Amino acid sequence: MIKSLKAAIVLFILLSVLTGVIYPAVVTGLAQLLFSQQANGSLINDSSGKVTGSRLIGQSFSSPGHFWGRPSATGPFPNNAGASSGSNLGPTNPALIEAVKTRIQALKDADPDNKAPIPVDLITSSGSGLDPHISPAAAEYQINRVAKAHNVKPEMIRALIDANIEDRQWGFIGEPRVNVLTLNLALDALH
Amino acid sequence: MTSNSYFQIIVYIVTLLALAKPLGWYMARVYEGESVGLNRLLAPLEALLYRLSGVNPKEEMRWTDYTFSFLIFNLLGVLAVFALQRLQAYLPFNPQSLPGVSSDSAFNTAVSFATNTNWQGYSGEVTMSYLTQMLGLTVQNFVSAAAGMATLVALIRGFTRRNADTIGNFWVDLTRSTLYILMPLSLILALVLVGQGVVQTFSPYRSVPLIETVSYEQPKLGTDGLALQDAAGKPIMESVEAKEQIIAVGPAASQIAIKQLGTNGGGFFNVNSAHPLENPTPLSNFLEMLSILLIPGALCYTFGMMVGDTRQGWAILAAMTLIFVALIFVEVPAEQSGNPALASLSVDQSATVSQSGGNMEGKETRFGITNSALWAIVTTAASNGSVNAMHDSFTPIGGMIPMWLMQLGEVIFGGVGSGLYGMIMFAIVAVFVSGLMIGRTPEYLGKKIEAYEMKMAAITILIPPLVVLGGTALAVMIDVGKASVFNPGAHGFSEVLYAFSSAGNNNGSAFGGLSANTPFYNSLLGLAMLFSRYWLAIPVLAIAGSLASKKIVPVGLGTLPTHTPLFVALLIGTVLMVGALTFVPALALGPVVEHLQMIGAK
């Protein structure tokens, strides 16, 4: 009994050091050595070297001249990368339907001529509240509004989208998507 | 479902099954103490651990000693994780200066991680210091998984030994599981995940300027720090502008790798594997999903090898896979069909080449419907419980299937070790039932199954439903239980039923709307996790001890072969009958009612 108590305590401490100190330290060391960009949050720098965001963290956009991303349910403001959260609204919750109606209205107000059905990912909140992507369909839907705001031809905007589409990984894993932040940075670079 | 959807699912299943044999073979060699490729590197370290802790690796334990060691080691884990959380404010590696965790939440999380449940009552990035995440949670991710594997190996020895009174050495099984299996796999997976974009750093959270300023309303605070109220008692709101965002980072990859491989599931961040810094790409998603079922699947082959007949392992793997695949093809279409309430709002929910469509509330664009729904099945088949989409926002049927998979007892792959020993309990019941039919004493793998084994097996099968249904009934009857419910109507009942199904089967996933971080839920769910883990593990070890002491019965004319399609069907039937009969009434009150309401609404 005493012997197994000693074994339990000593082995617990040793395994804790091994898996809770040495293992994460080794992974951190190798990660910083091999993949320092990714290990530190995939941050994007502008031409002057200033950090403008993370490639993997969606930001909130609501001006007509930018592409809008997935709605976000984080608090106290959308896309708060310090406190990730989904909406957790159930499919039959009236609050979900109300939220969707408000988002549809905002999109229609910003682009009254657009009568196309709205891609579902553009009016439903993402799981993390930080989704950096929208579907190519959701980007397509916003072309006219963005083109008008920038006073350029829609084809030009479409070409920008095409340049920012990430295909399924290895051709078949996941879904095709557009990174909203890099797309908007490319838009801003037009001027 | 699109053809790409089918293709992704098939690639996943084929990869998983293809890895079962090589990894299963490797693990069998590890447990039989034979030399494996890593010996040269790890054997000296292993010997050092034994020497320092005074363990004689050659010394065998009776089942009672084995169980005592298992329990005392788990108790130490609970105490350590509890202490780390309470004291983290005074300890290093806390760059965000997070305060100590409340005692009820700390109890819940300590139990949750020591029992391999990894129910996440807390929100990682705003609660846990880096030290707690590493020295508390990551350690338990390793050793709780290893303890489950050790229990399984002890049970297998019960079948293979004859007239023996010992079932192995717990310290050796624990150490070898950690050193030779979990650590090498985690190291590789963690580095690949970092390559995909998972963060791994000790630096504090990053502050980054936003491109567009975000304005929002928040309650105005007085000089005393309390919210100011107007004459009508409503809080006075003020407009605030956010020009910067804080990006939470940390040593995430090292923890996520073992979180998946050890079927743990507690996330580094609040939204778990939906977080782009925890699961950034479709490839990281595929690998994380593969690691969830990798070891539970391969252990079936290990089992077959150790009992000297690999067909026995394949038969069990076949039973698991058949149920698993059938449920995938219920789950994915349920989510792909979308939400009828949005159909009348000029929303496009169809699957096309440029969008995944379907029920996208709570899902991430990069995963779409297929990978979110597939993940939900994978994580609840295994007792993993990590999520890459919010299950609370799934369609009623899409939420019911994961819930039911947990209620089946976490035996469809299940947790590392615990899933297979749970399934072997069902196999014992299955041979017993068929033994009754033909009037012979049932036997399994050459061992007679008698009254003692049946009593123990019955306990393991009856305890989880008792905990799940009893806990749910209690919570929905009293006010503190009902106050935490978020969604109205039948869905609210589903939230509570899901929580107890998860804790009562050591899964850990949640319908996240339920505010479970309250003293009531933290305590009750904590107790549920304790009951379900140990009232399964202890009877299993008791069976191991009893079986080891028996002689081996030669195969005769009346022996039911347990590697045939007939037995696979019998085993599936046993699992489904117990699961269906026990839980269908409760499911009818939650997801089934909600589904009817949803399709009936006009």
B444's tokens: 């399994």
**According to the model, what pLDDT value does residue B248 have?**
95
B221, B227 in Cβ contact below 8 A?
A: yes
* Domain shared by A92 and A22, yes or no: no
DSSP bridge partners of B348: A119
How far apart (Å, rounded) are the C-alpha atoms in residues A117 and A119? Answer: 7
* Domain shared by A27 and A117, yes or no: no
A191's tokens: 């001027």
Question: 3-class DSSP state for residue B352?
Answer: strand
% residues pLDDT > 90 (chain A): 91
Of A34, A92, A128, the CB nearest to B598: A92
* Domain shared by A89 and A23, yes or no: no
Q: Do A11 and B174 touch (CB under 8 A)?
A: yes
Q: Do A123 and B347 touch (CB under 8 A)?
A: yes
Q: How many CB atoms lie within 10 A of CB A33?
A: 9
Whether residue B561 lies inside any domain: the answer is: yes
Lowest-confidence segment of A47-51, A146-150, B403-407 by average pLDDT? A47-51
Q: Domain tally for chain A? A: 2
Domain boundary among B247, B277, B299: B247
Q: Per residue in A129-180, pLDDT tens? A: 999 999 999 999 999 999 999 999 999 999 999 999 999 999 999 999 999 9
**According to the model, what pLDDT value does residue B233 have?**
78
Domain boundary among B247, B278, B309: B247
Mean pLDDT, residues B356-385 taken together? 96
* Domain shared by A109 and A29, yes or no: no
CB proximity B381 to A under 8 Å: no
Q: Per residue in B217-250, pLDDT tens? A: 888 877 777 777 887 778 788 888 999 999 999 9
What does pLDDT average to over chain A?
Answer: 95
Residue A1 has pLDDT above 80, yes or no: no
Residues 6+ apart with CB under 8 A from B43: none
Mean pLDDT, residues B249-270 taken together? 95
Q: How confident is the model at residue B521 (pLDDT cuts 50, 70, 90)?
A: very high
What does pLDDT average to over chain B?
Answer: 94
Q: Do B183 and A19 touch (CB under 8 A)?
A: yes
The whole-angstrom distance between residue B313's C-alpha and the CA centroid of its chain comes to 22
CB proximity B487 to A under 8 Å: yes
Of A4, A31, A174, the CB nearest to B200: A31
Question: 3-class DSSP state for residue A1?
Answer: coil
Of A10, A76, A87, the CB nearest to B216: A76
Q: Do A28 and B202 touch (CB under 8 A)?
A: yes
Residues 6+ apart with CB under 8 A from A123: A71, A100, A103, A104, A107, B342, B347
B330's tokens: 């219920």
A191, B384 in Cβ contact below 8 A?
A: no
Mean pLDDT, residues A73-97 taken together? 94
Q: Do A100 and B345 touch (CB under 8 A)?
A: yes
Of B53, B282, B387, the CB nearest to A174: B282
Q: How confident is the model at residue B149 (pLDDT cuts 50, 70, 90)?
A: very high
Q: How many CB atoms lie within 10 A of CB A48?
A: 6
Helix (H) or strand (E) holding A133: strand A133-134
Q: Domain tally for chain B? A: 2
Whether residue B524 lies inside any domain: the answer is: yes
DSSP bridge partners of B355: B352
Q: Do B254 and A81 touch (CB under 8 A)?
A: no
Residue B580 has pLDDT above 90, yes or no: no
Which of B78, B361, B593 should one mutate to test binding to chain A, selecting the residue with the greatest count of A CBs within 10 A? Answer: B361
Mean pLDDT, residues B583-601 taken together? 95
User: What letter does residue B588 receive in the DSSP assignment?
Assistant: I
**According to the model, what pLDDT value does residue B39 have?**
84
* Domain shared by A79 and A150, yes or no: yes
**According to the model, what pLDDT value does residue A7 have?**
93
* Domain shared by A26 and A106, yes or no: no
Domain boundary among B197, B231, B247: B247
Residues of the domain holding A24: 2-37
**According to the model, what pLDDT value does residue B602 have?**
61
* Domain shared by A135 and A166, yes or no: yes
Phi, psi of B240 (to 5 degrees): -125, 150
Whether residue B285 lies inside any domain: the answer is: no
Whether residue B310 lies inside any domain: the answer is: no
A60, A77 in Cβ contact below 8 A?
A: yes
Q: Is B197 left (phi over 0), alpha (psi -120 to 50) or beta?
A: left
B411's tokens: 């035996």
Q: Per residue in B168-192, pLDDT tens? A: 999 999 999 999 999 999 999 999 9
Whether residue B440 lies inside any domain: the answer is: yes
ipTM score for this prediction: 0.97
- Calculate the alpha carbon distances from B262 to B114, B230, B282, B287, B382 in Å: 12, 52, 21, 14, 10
CA–CA–CA angle B272, B275, B281 (5° rounding): 115
Q: Distance from B49 to chain A by nearest Cα, in Å?
A: 7
Helix/strand/coil percentages in chain B, nearest 5? 65, 5, 30
* Domain shared by A89 and A112, yes or no: yes
- The number of CA neighbours under 13 Å toward the Cβ of B385 is 37
A130, A77 in Cβ contact below 8 A?
A: no
Residues of the domain holding B215: 206-247
* Domain shared by A109 and A178, yes or no: yes
Whether residue B431 lies inside any domain: the answer is: yes
Chain B: residue whose CA lies nearest to A73: B362
* Domain shared by A22 and A83, yes or no: no
Which residue shows structure tokens 């033909």? B438
Whether residue B311 lies inside any domain: the answer is: no
CA nearest to A31, candidates B187, B50, B209: B187
How far apart (Å, rounded) are the C-alpha atoms in residues B75 and B72? Answer: 5
Mean pLDDT, residues B399-406 taken together? 97
Residue B209 has pLDDT above 80, yes or no: yes
CA nearest to B585, candidates B419, B407, B321: B407
Q: Do A27 and B191 touch (CB under 8 A)?
A: yes
Of B53, B248, B269, the CB nearest to A14: B53
* Domain shared by A27 and A114, yes or no: no
CA nearest to B174, candidates B49, B79, B298, B48: B49
Whether residue B563 lies inside any domain: the answer is: yes
Lowest-confidence segment of B123-127, B389-393, B435-439, B546-550 by average pLDDT? B435-439
For the stretch A1-10, contacts whose Cβ atoms lie closer than 8 Å and that sit 24 or more positions apart, written own/partner, are: A1/B68, A3/B54, A4/B65, A4/B68, A4/B69, A4/B72, A5/B72, A6/B53, A6/B54, A7/B53, A7/B54, A7/B55, A7/B69, A7/B171, A8/B69, A8/B72, A8/B73, A8/B76, A9/B76, A10/B52, A10/B53, A10/B54
Helix/strand/coil percentages in chain A, nearest 5? 50, 10, 45
Q: Per residue in B116-137, pLDDT tens? A: 998 988 888 999 999 999 999 9
How far apart (Å, rounded) are the C-alpha atoms in residues B311 and B313? Answer: 5
B182's tokens: 């979990």
* Domain shared by A54 and A115, yes or no: yes
Q: Give B 122-161 residues with CB within 8 A of chain A.
A: 123, 125-126, 134-136, 138-139, 141-143
CB proximity B46 to A under 8 Å: no
Task: Evaluate the omega torsion of the peptide bond into residue A76 and state whether it is cis, within 30 degrees of 0.
Answer: yes
DSSP bridge partners of B290: none
